[in-house]
Amino acid sequence: MRDRTAEVLPAPLIEKMAAVATTRTFGKNAIIVSEGDETDSLYVVLVGRAKIFVSDENGREVQLNQIGPGEYFGEVTLDGGPRSASVMALEECRCAVVKRSEFTGFLERNPEFALHLVRKLAHRVRMLTDSVRSLALMDVYGRVARLLLDLAEERDGRLVVEESLTHRDIASRVGASREMISRIFSDLTDGGYVRKEDHHLVIVRKPPPRW
């Protein structure tokens, strides 16, 4: 199951950051930042959900992550480089936006945020290492099973994937075709491993590591 504690800011830090930030609202499907941009602001999601993705000149897209309230993005640009990925609002989002010039002073006054940032970056390195391992060593089914278990959260004794994911979304995240994902989900559903309830995916029993 995904551990979001390294990603979500504690409420006191969100309040401190909101006090020095500019608040902006982005409509559903709006691009908040674009890969390659030279902007250097840090964004904290206050309300809503967004996806982080990379794409090529042919429009092919790979989704890296989805984030929600309390999570932030843009810290990579603090080294002075361009945006490494694009971010799009999946629903209306309200964000606290802090410019790099203001963020430096904020870090000096709030060293607990610096510690949170270090822990988050370490967590991301671990996630990227796991992703590279799965892409190199797992087949498509194995990557799907791992993704579902990573995203699932326990709700009333059941494992539920709260994110609303289409087969195209999953294909983007595991590096496969939508058709392949549809076949895998058909097998998982027929085998009694997963089912849809109230627009959420429920893992009825843990999928086997290999199919």
**What residue ranges do the domains of the chain occupy?**
11-134, 139-203
Residue 155 tokens read as: 């709700």
Inter-residue contact 65 to 52 (CB < 8 Å): yes
Inter-residue contact 128 to 120 (CB < 8 Å): no
Name the fold adopted by 139-203. Arc Repressor Mutant, subunit A (1.10.10)
Model pTM above 0.75: no
Same fold, 11-134 and 139-203: no
Q: What is the pLDDT along the chain (211 residues), one digit of tens a residue?
A: 566 777 899 999 999 988 889 999 999 999 999 999 988 899 999 999 999 999 888 777 888 888 999 999 998 777 788 898 999 999 999 999 998 888 888 888 999 998 999 988 888 888 888 877 776 668 899 899 988 988 898 888 889 998 878 898 898 888 888 999 999 999 999 999 999 888 889 999 888 877 6
Q: What is the CATH number of domain 11-134?
A: 2.60.120.10
Length of the chain: 211
